[in-house]
């Protein structure tokens, strides 16, 4: 029987996205059995798939690495012990296969002897039939043994099994690959799967999950104690274990903002830099024993100095480990903004509380994602896009509408996504007026701009719309899409000051 592959593994093998493979299945070009597809079927759709990674796969991996701030080589290979365990498994499979080949060779010899004995006793017509059977067997054996008969994808899959392991999460049926030194939790976060966790450091026990099958290995000692009874049932900490073989785990996944607890964390300023005179990029890092758990697109409250606080959208993705980014817009006279622009220093403590808000991605939607960022509304949109990229979303469009050109303050990020990804489309537009005050003629002008964008893209109204920016601008845009007949459930809105 042909080897069966999960969609995640198959996509990795041919350098495609899961969504692309799903389209082949929907069109009937590929057949899926219980979410698995055969190597032959995959090769029939991707006849040019080679042993090496495709350029596309490398490009996607690189953009994701850049987005998540990790170096490729740090993660390329698992540690020596995991590698040894996987090679041992592979060795066992090889030994088993060799034994089977030996048995089949013996069987073939015995079959030949048996045919010869039958031939000696047979009459003329039977001898003729036996001779034809022998000719057919000889030809089939020769064809089967011809060099190059091996499916290149099967070889690539074997190599992939050495450097990665697949994890299936039940009951949600999510799956993801564990690469290099990643723990199960890190790999899940990188793939955009919001498993339960707290500290990421083996202290809180919130990432405890049950291994149903497969082999895992501890990557660090942890302070949280798992009882012997639980150990015997297969419970492990996802933040302190990696996968040696393909594994199936039973673990809770956050499906809504209600599943994320409220948290208070003392972070420190890792870096801050002026993007322009009116905008600071604030990079906070949480302690080693605490991560901020949130869903992409949510906000958090920051408190600095003598309790100057503000609620701000998080401009990074939950997949980015201890790093939490914010875009701080200058508001003269606002105590929080003044403190950040005039006094905040590297390493200073910043209190984070949250997360807040329901501006999150409808992950299960199969419609294209259309993101509209108005001025600094790019912050939550950036978080959503990074998350969509980690989910390998099929079709992502970003329209960044600035009051003026300088309000489109990080175009290089959007251009980098566009350069690296075929499924990402970016356009920027300058409104020519302050998007914080939109009424009368300005409202008409914004309406006209949206109508132009709409006229140039017939798919826009087929998509899910995400709007973030000054309240006045997003209200006009929301009304524009509702008037076009889109239901409220497909127009998500976040007001950003
Ligand atoms: S023990 Fe806290 S997240 Fe794993």
Average pLDDT for runs of 10 along the chain of length 497: 72 75 80 78 72 44 52 59 82 84 89 90 91 89 70 70 88 88 90 87 92 93 94 96 94 88 95 91 91 94 92 91 92 94 95 96 91 97 92 90 95 87 91 94 96 95 97 97 97 94
- 351 token code pair: 């209190």
- Considering only CA atoms, which of 459, 458, 495 is closest in space to residue 477? 495
CA of 238 to the centre of ligand 1 (A): 7
> What pLDDT does residue 448 have?
97
Residue of 182, 183, 186, 199 to mutate, ligand 1, most atoms within 8 A of C-beta: 199
For 208-264, what is each residue's pLDDT tens digit?
Answer: 999 999 999 999 899 999 999 999 999 999 999 999 989 999 998 887 899 899 999
Q: How many CA atoms lie within 13 A of 6 on its CB side?
A: 17
Task: Please tell me the distance from the alpha carbon of residue 73 to that of residue 181, in angstroms, as a whole number.
Answer: 10
> What pLDDT does residue 68 have?
45
Task: Please tell me the distance from the alpha carbon of residue 378 to that of residue 275, in angstroms, as a whole number.
Answer: 13
Report which ligand 1 atom has the smallest distance to the Cα of 202.
1
To the question of pTM greater than 0.85 for the whole model, the response is no
The answer to whether the CB of 27 falls within 8 A of the CB of 19 is no
- 59 token code pair: 């490009």
CA of 475 to the centre of ligand 1 (A): 40
Pocket of ligand 1 (CB under 6 A): 197-200, 202-207, 224, 237, 239
Task: Please tell me the distance from the alpha carbon of residue 147 to that of residue 157, in angstroms, as a whole number.
Answer: 19
CA of 51 to the centre of ligand 1 (A): 38
Q: Which residues contact 174 (CB under 8 A, 6 or more apart)?
A: 168, 188, 191, 193, 253
Report which ligand 1 atom has the smallest distance to the Cα of 224.
1
Other CB atoms within a 10 A radius of the CB of residue 401 amount to: 26
CA of 234 to the centre of ligand 1 (A): 16
Report which ligand 1 atom has the smallest distance to the Cα of 291.
3
Residue of 203, 219, 241, 321 to mutate, ligand 1, most atoms within 8 A of C-beta: 203
- 76 token code pair: 């390329």
Terminal Cα-to-Cα distance of the chain (whole angstroms): 59
CA of 225 to the centre of ligand 1 (A): 11
Residue of 184, 197, 293 to mutate, ligand 1, most atoms within 8 A of C-beta: 197
Task: Please tell me the distance from the alpha carbon of residue 168 to that of residue 252, in angstroms, as a whole number.
Answer: 12
The residue assigned the tokens 């032959």 is 40
**DSSP-derived 3-state class of residue 371:** strand
Q: Which residues contact 485 (CB under 8 A, 6 or more apart)?
A: 461
Q: Please list the residues that pair with 211 across neighbouring strands.
A: 249
- 247 token code pair: 């594994």
Report which ligand 1 atom has the smallest distance to the Cα of 222.
1
> What pLDDT does residue 397 have?
97
CA of 288 to the centre of ligand 1 (A): 11
Other CB atoms within a 10 A radius of the CB of residue 391 amount to: 18
- 407 token code pair: 């309000």
> What pLDDT does residue 446 have?
97
Q: Which residues contact 81 (CB under 8 A, 6 or more apart)?
A: 217
The residue assigned the tokens 């080949």 is 101
For 439-475, what is each residue's pLDDT tens digit?
Answer: 899 999 999 999 999 999 999 999 999 999 999 999 9
CA of 198 to the centre of ligand 1 (A): 5
Q: Please list the residues that pair with 372 across neighbouring strands.
A: 399, 467
- 234 token code pair: 């297969």
> What pLDDT does residue 81 have?
81
CA of 169 to the centre of ligand 1 (A): 17
Residue of 186, 195, 205, 216 to mutate, ligand 1, most atoms within 8 A of C-beta: 205
CA of 302 to the centre of ligand 1 (A): 24
Helix/strand/coil (H, E, C) string of 235-287? EEEHHHEEECCCEEEECCECCCHHHCCCEEEEEEEEEEEEEECCEEEEEEECC
| Mean per-residue pLDDT over the chain, rounded | 87
> What pLDDT does residue 74 have?
47
Report which ligand 1 atom has the smallest distance to the Cα of 198.
3
Report which ligand 1 atom has the smallest distance to the Cα of 239.
4
> What pLDDT does residue 24 have?
82
Q: Which residues contact 284 (CB under 8 A, 6 or more apart)?
A: 267, 268, 269, 270, 302, 323, 324, 325, 326, 350, 352
- 158 token code pair: 């074997």
CA of 194 to the centre of ligand 1 (A): 13
Report which ligand 1 atom has the smallest distance to the Cα of 203.
1
> What pLDDT does residue 20 have?
78
């Amino acid at each position: 029987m042909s080897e069966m592959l999960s969609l995640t593994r198959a996509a990795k093998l041919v350098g495609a996205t899961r969504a692309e493979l799903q389209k082949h299945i929907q069109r009937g070009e590929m057949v899926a059995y219980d979410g698995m597809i055969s190597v032959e079927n995959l090769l029939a759709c991707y006849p040019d798939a080679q042993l090496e990674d495709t350029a596309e796969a490398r490009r996607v991996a690189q953009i994701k690495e850049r987005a998540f701030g990790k170096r490729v080589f740090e993660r390329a290979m698992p540690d020596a012990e995991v590698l040894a365990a996987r090679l041992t498994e592979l060795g066992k499979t090889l030994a088993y296969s060799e034994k089977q080949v030996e048995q089949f060779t013996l069987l073939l010899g015995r079959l030949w002897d048996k045919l010869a004995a039958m031939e000696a006793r047979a009459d003329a017509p039977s001898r003729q039939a036996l001779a034809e059977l022998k000719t057919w067997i000889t030809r089939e054996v020769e064809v089967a043994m011809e060099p190059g008969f091996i499916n290149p994808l099967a070889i690539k899959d074997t190599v992939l099994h050495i450097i990665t392991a697949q994890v299936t999460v039940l009951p949600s049926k999510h799956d993801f690959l564990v690469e290099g030194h990643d723990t199960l939790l890190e790999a899940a976060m990188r793939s955009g799967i919001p498993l339960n966790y707290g500290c990421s450091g083996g202290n809180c026990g919130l990432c405890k999950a049950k291994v149903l099958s497969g082999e895992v290995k501890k990557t660090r000692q942890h302070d949280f104690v798992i009882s012997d009874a639980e150990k015997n049932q297969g419970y492990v900490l996802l933040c302190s274990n990696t996968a040696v073989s393909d594994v199936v785990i039973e673990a809770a996944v956050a499906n809504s903002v209600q599943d994320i607890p409220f948290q208070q964390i003392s972070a420190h300023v890792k870096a801050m830099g002026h993007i322009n005179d009116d905008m600071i990029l604030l990079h906070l890092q949480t302690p080693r024993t605490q991560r901020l758990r949130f869903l992409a697109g949510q906000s958090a409250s920051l408190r600095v100095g003598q309790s100057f606080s503000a609620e701000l959208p998080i401009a990074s993705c939950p997949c980015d480990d201890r790093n939490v980014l914010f875009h701080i817009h200058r508001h003269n006279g606002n105590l929080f903004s003044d403190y950040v622009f005039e006094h905040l220093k590297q390493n200073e403590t910043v209190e984070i509380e949250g997360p807040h808000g329901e501006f999150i991605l409808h992950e299960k939607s199969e419609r294209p994602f259309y993101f509209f960022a108005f001025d600094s509304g790019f912050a939550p949109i950036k978080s959503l896009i990074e998350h969509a990229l980690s989910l390998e979303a099929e079709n992502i469009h970003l329209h960044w509408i600035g009051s003026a050109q300088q309000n489109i303050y990080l175009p290089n990020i959007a251009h980098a996504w566009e350069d690296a990804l075929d499924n990402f489309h970016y356009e920027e537009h300058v409104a020519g007026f302050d998007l914080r005050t939109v009424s009368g003629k300005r409202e008409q002008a914004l309406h006209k701009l949206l109508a132009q964008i709409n006229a140039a893209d017939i798919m826009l109204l087929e998509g899910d719309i995400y709007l973030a920016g000054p309240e006045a601008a997003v209200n006009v845009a929301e009304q524009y899409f509702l008037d076009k007949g889109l239901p409220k459930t497909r127009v998500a809105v976040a007001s950003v000051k």
